[in-house]
Amino acid sequence: MLRNLLNKKAVASEYPAILESLNVQVRWRRKPRWLGTAKTKVFRVPTRPVQDPEERAFMFKLSTNYRTQMKAIRSFLHQEVQKASLPSTTSVLLKSPEQLELEFQETLKINEVWNAECAKVRAARMEQKLKEQRDYVLERLQAKEERDEEREERIRNIIEQQKIEAKNFITEENIDEAIERAIANVVDYNFAIDLDGNMYKGSLSLGKEEQKTK
């Protein structure tokens, strides 16, 4: 330990900045559980502390007295709070039946006023809720009507388009005419392109000049 201290003083005289970096306090922490028991403490049997019987009895007596006193204080405070929150029993017993009936009627009137106010608030809330539900239903119905109209419009356009295209359909009545028209107007989609970019249409192999003149 003395050697380390002397080394630190020697270093401090030459390099003060190094001393600041060496004076770092590392907080003690418990060894992690997964490291296990140290080799020097594997076979160590800890000695059980021996307590004096008289001291143990005295401490038990002190703790018992403390718990009893605290329990009495809590019970007293609890009773005082209950007395303060409840009306006096003596004042209630001294009241006549007429006074009790009068107090009951006054309390009943106050209760009726409160019930009427709560009924007004409840009626207003229910009316507002009913109005919101009605508006929501009307909005949904209007949106459904718009969707139905759009759907009918699309169907109507499809039907009109099909009617226009149906004029060119081949039926049993005009099948002979369609065959003659197809034979008269032969369409050949075969073509080839050379390296110069010239297109040669048709299935027959013709020369360049013939294709150009054609």
pLDDT average, residue stretch 49-69: 95
Say if strands 199-201 and 191-193 run parallel, antiparallel, or are unpaired.
antiparallel
Q: Is the pLDDT of residue 1 over 60?
A: no
Mean pLDDT of the chain: 82
pLDDT, tens only, 160-200: 998 888 888 888 888 888 888 888 888 878 888 889 989 88
Checking phi first, is residue 38 left (phi over 0); if not, alpha (psi -120 to 50) or beta?
A: beta
Distance CA 186, CA 177 (A): 14
pLDDT-derived band of residue 2, with 50, 70 and 90 as boundaries?
very low
Highest mean pLDDT among 40-49, 67-76, 92-101 belongs to: 67-76
pLDDT-derived band of residue 82, with 50, 70 and 90 as boundaries?
confident
- With a CB cutoff of 8 Å and minimum separation 6, the contacts of 12 are 18, 19
Residue 181 is predicted with a pLDDT of 87
Distance CA 214, CA 210 (A): 6
Question: Which pair of structure tokens corresponds to residue 35?
Answer: 């490291």
pLDDT average, residue stretch 100-126: 94
Question: Which pair of structure tokens corresponds to residue 78?
Answer: 């609890």
Residue 4 is predicted with a pLDDT of 52
Which range, of 44-58, 104-118, 160-174, averages the lowest pLDDT? 160-174
Residue 203 is predicted with a pLDDT of 67
Helix (H) or strand (E) holding 199: strand 199-201
Q: Is the pLDDT of residue 214 over 60?
A: no
Q: Is the pLDDT of residue 213 over 60?
A: no
pTM of the model: 0.34
Using CA atoms, how far residue 14 sits from 10, 11, 53, in Å, is: 7, 5, 61
Considering only CA atoms, which of 185, 183, 182, 191 is closest in space to residue 214?
Answer: 191
172 against 87, higher pLDDT: 172
Helix (H) or strand (E) holding 192: strand 191-193
